[in-house]
Chains A and B, each alone.
Chain A
Amino acid sequence: MTPVLDSRLLNDVLRDILSPYDLPPVEDVATRRQLARTLLSGRDNGSFDGLALAYAVVAFCASTEDGAAEVLDAVRDAEVLVLDGVCGGYLLIPCAQDLHVELARELHDRVGQDVWMAVAWAPRKDLASARATAEDVLRIARNRAPGVYELRTVLADFAVLRQPHVAERLARMIEPVMAQQPLLDALKAFIAEDGNRAAAARGLDIHRSTLDHRLRLVERLTGCRPTSPRALLTLSVALTAHSTPQVPLPRTH
């Protein structure tokens, strides 16, 4: 073969153009995992060649180990960095701004149903805060249907989760409702049905006046009237404040 550029072989030059990232090979799982951890913990001192300028950070978890393995199978790509745990983990996917949600949705479509994903986008220097955002969004999402979530879809709950003194007061406020299952079920159904009484009563298989009565009891116990949109939002974030699960994500430092 003839040298084409600075005495280098054509194949070598082409490889550099097509795959400019100087990352460890896919087979070197441990080194790549360490690189992902370094980026996610904000210890990237700019010394890594070949990294993308910005990433979509996807925090994911699944109800089973197989579900999590399925996600990892779907991202076997030289450019994607993975920090995996037992039933969840982080993916770092090179991504342009405003495309991260679409990217995560496409990924979610390729895996089974019982997977929750939280996605945030950030330039490389801000990956630590994007990771923290993704983790908290995932904690909120874990109480909801499987799917792809971002900060925008859980703003209210996120704000409360980030302010422990507010979360504590709200948790105390909702405590008496948590102790009475029928009231809790009524409130959750009413929230899930977006304030539609008829649908909530149907879902619980109770009479509509029974539902109304239970919602009035919720008001008496909390001071929040569920039929007021503001109060319903407060009650809903109080439920988040009271019981937001930890998610099985690997440690980043």
Chain B
Amino acid sequence: MLGFSPRLVLKSFNGAKDGKGQPVLFDVGRLLHEEFLAVYRAAAADAEGWEDAAVTVAHRVGARLASAKVPVAQVVVALRSTDRLLTEAMLDDGGDARALAAAGTALAAELMSAFCADDDGLGDALLAGNAPGGAAPFYTVVLARGSAADRVVSAFRKRGPVVLATSGHLLLPVAEAAALPLCREVWEELGGEVWFCVAERAAARVALARKEVDEIDALVSSLGRPPGVYRIDDMLFESAVLETPEVRDELGKVVAPLLANPVLVETVLALLEADGNRAVAVKKLFIHRSTIDYRLWQIEQLTGLSPVNPRDLALLGTAIGLSRTNSLG
């Protein structure tokens, strides 16, 4: 891996913003270098009390960087180069290698924990409906399924600030229009085998965004949708059905006889996945063309909905999906 000089790190920092949206032009590499130098010196000499000094300094610097919303990934780069430069300098002066390594670890751990501790409280407060001072005007709540949480978090962190909540929701302090491309990038980076559900609200209404992503997630998973990035717009029809008791009840009655027959349910889902193309569905189901025609006829007899009609087919698919969440009457 290529090393970064502090100068290069400075340049890459011009994009960082403070709470008012003003660019922050301080040099993270130099800041770390200046603040940590005394700690490394003390450690190299194995001086009394260097561990306590490391914790205090790293905590202060970490809090400052976190409040300036400096992306963590960039802090990590600066931290790595600072550690390398200072360790080499102290080793050259005949410092204690083991104590230097311990100092680097202690500083890094405390610096990062300052970042994370700040996040946790904020995320939970926002999801609970409180918007503390210092919160961004808008948040896009992201719920990820299908990938290890830490992989998802670090992929987002590389691209900008992320607030974590203990519930597992991620909050990106940006509007949905900006969050969607980020989610798609992360989705690609993670190999496309993950489901993201996203919703945006103003800081004071983040609780509603969470409710929305949970609803989208339940729909996406019960309807068996493929991995991807989903918004409520992609599930509008299903959520309208769920929220209308008359329709829920009637749809429940319409599909009840179908649900009792797993073979017919499988046939509907296969045909839906084939965009209504019977030839494709037949291959997938390993059955004869005349068999599927007979099954489709049966489905129409049982439900009054014709799977050959694309809109009826979609409605049948929705009903099957919703029945799996026990949402129908």
Is the pair B250, A163 in contact by a Cβ cutoff of 8 Å? no
Bound-complex Cα distance A156 to B238 (A): 9
- What 0/1 readout, one digit per residue, does chain A (120-132) give for beta carbons within 8 Å of chain B? 0000000001000
Q: How large is the interface on B (under 10, 10 to 19, 20 to 34, 35 or more residues)?
A: 20 to 34
Chain A positions within 8 Å of B318 at CB level: 230
Is the pair A232, B250 in contact by a Cβ cutoff of 8 Å? no
Residue among B236, B243, B318 having the largest count of chain A Cβ atoms under 10 Å: B236
Query: Looking at the complex, which of B77-85, B122-130, B307-315 is the stretch in contact with chain A?
Result: B307-315
Query: Looking at the complex, which of A6-14, A43-51, A83-91, A233-241 is the stretch in contact with chain B?
Result: A233-241
- What 0/1 readout, one digit per residue, does chain A (137-165) give for beta carbons within 8 Å of chain B? 00000000000000110011011101100
Chain A positions within 8 Å of B243 at CB level: 159, 162-163, 166
Is the pair A229, B311 in contact by a Cβ cutoff of 8 Å? yes
Chain A positions within 8 Å of B236 at CB level: 160, 166, 169-170, 234
Given known pairs A166-B236, A232-B311, the reply for A195 and B276 (CB within 8 Å) is yes
Chain A positions within 8 Å of B237 at CB level: 156, 159-160, 166, 230, 233-234, 237
Would you call A2 an interface residue if the criterion is a C-beta within 8 Å of the partner chain's C-beta atoms? no
Chain B positions within 8 Å of A233 at CB level: 237, 310-311, 314-315
Residue of A nearest to B274 (CB): A229
A231 to chain B, nearest CB (A): 8
Would you call B71 an interface residue if the criterion is a C-beta within 8 Å of the partner chain's C-beta atoms? no
Interface residues in B88-115 by Cβ distance below 8 A to A read none
Residue among B232, B244, B254, B308 having the largest count of chain A Cβ atoms under 10 Å: B244
Bound-complex Cα distance A233 to B247 (A): 16
B322 to chain A, nearest CB (A): 11
B100 to chain A, nearest CB (A): 56
Residue of B nearest to A170 (CB): B236
Would you call B86 an interface residue if the criterion is a C-beta within 8 Å of the partner chain's C-beta atoms? no
Residue of A nearest to B272 (CB): A229
B177 to chain A, nearest CB (A): 14
Would you call B173 an interface residue if the criterion is a C-beta within 8 Å of the partner chain's C-beta atoms? no
Is the pair B240, A229 in contact by a Cβ cutoff of 8 Å? no
Bound-complex Cα distance A116 to B95 (A): 93
Of A155, A158, A159, A232, which contacts B310 at CB under 8 A? A232
Residue of A nearest to B303 (CB): A152
- What 0/1 readout, one digit per residue, does chain A (186-209) give for beta carbons within 8 Å of chain B? 000001001100000000000000
Chain A positions within 8 Å of B254 at CB level: 152, 155
Given known pairs A169-B233, A191-B311, A194-B309, the reply for A155 and B239 (CB within 8 Å) is no
A190 to chain B, nearest CB (A): 9
Given known pairs A166-B236, A229-B276, the reply for A158 and B314 (CB within 8 Å) is no
Chain A positions within 8 Å of B308 at CB level: 194
Is the pair B310, A194 in contact by a Cβ cutoff of 8 Å? yes
Is the pair A158, B244 in contact by a Cβ cutoff of 8 Å? yes
A-side interface mostly: helix
Bound-complex Cα distance A195 to B274 (A): 14
Residue of B nearest to A223 (CB): B233
Would you call B188 an interface residue if the criterion is a C-beta within 8 Å of the partner chain's C-beta atoms? no
Would you call B241 an interface residue if the criterion is a C-beta within 8 Å of the partner chain's C-beta atoms? yes
Residue among A162, A167, A227 having the largest count of chain B Cβ atoms under 10 Å: A162
Bound-complex Cα distance A25 to B222 (A): 56
Chain A positions within 8 Å of B310 at CB level: 194-195, 229, 232-233
Chain B positions within 8 Å of A195 at CB level: 276, 309-310
Is the pair A156, B275 in contact by a Cβ cutoff of 8 Å? no
Interface residues in B292-329 by Cβ distance below 8 A to A read 304, 308-311, 313-315, 317-318
Residue of B nearest to A235 (CB): B311
B56 to chain A, nearest CB (A): 51
Residue among B240, B254, B311 having the largest count of chain A Cβ atoms under 10 Å: B240
Would you call A180 an interface residue if the criterion is a C-beta within 8 Å of the partner chain's C-beta atoms? no
Bound-complex Cα distance A236 to B309 (A): 13
Would you call B246 an interface residue if the criterion is a C-beta within 8 Å of the partner chain's C-beta atoms? yes
Would you call A228 an interface residue if the criterion is a C-beta within 8 Å of the partner chain's C-beta atoms? yes
Of A152, A159, A173, A229, which contacts B241 at CB under 8 A? A159
Residue of A nearest to B249 (CB): A151
Bound-complex Cα distance A127 to B143 (A): 43
Chain B positions within 8 Å of A158 at CB level: 244, 246-247
Is the pair B244, A159 in contact by a Cβ cutoff of 8 Å? yes
A129 to chain B, nearest CB (A): 8
A7 to chain B, nearest CB (A): 51
Is the pair A160, B240 in contact by a Cβ cutoff of 8 Å? yes
Given known pairs A166-B239, A195-B276, A229-B275, the reply for A236 and B244 (CB within 8 Å) is no
Is the pair B240, A155 in contact by a Cβ cutoff of 8 Å? no
- What 0/1 readout, one digit per residue, does chain A (56-91) give for beta carbons within 8 Å of chain B? 000000000000000000000000000000000000
User: Can you name 17 A-B pairs with beta carbons within 8 Å?
Assistant: A151-B246, A155-B254, A156-B241, A156-B311, A158-B244, A159-B241, A162-B244, A163-B239, A166-B240, A166-B243, A169-B236, A173-B233, A229-B276, A232-B311, A233-B311, A233-B314, A237-B237
Q: Which 10 A-B pairs have the closest CB atoms?
A: A229-B310, A233-B314, A195-B310, A229-B314, A159-B240, A166-B240, A163-B240, A159-B247, A159-B244, A230-B314
Extra contacts, 13 of them, besides A170-B236, A229-B272, A230-B318 (Cβ < 8 A), are A152-B304, A156-B241, A162-B244, A162-B247, A163-B240, A195-B310, A223-B233, A229-B275, A229-B317, A230-B237, A233-B311, A233-B315, A234-B237
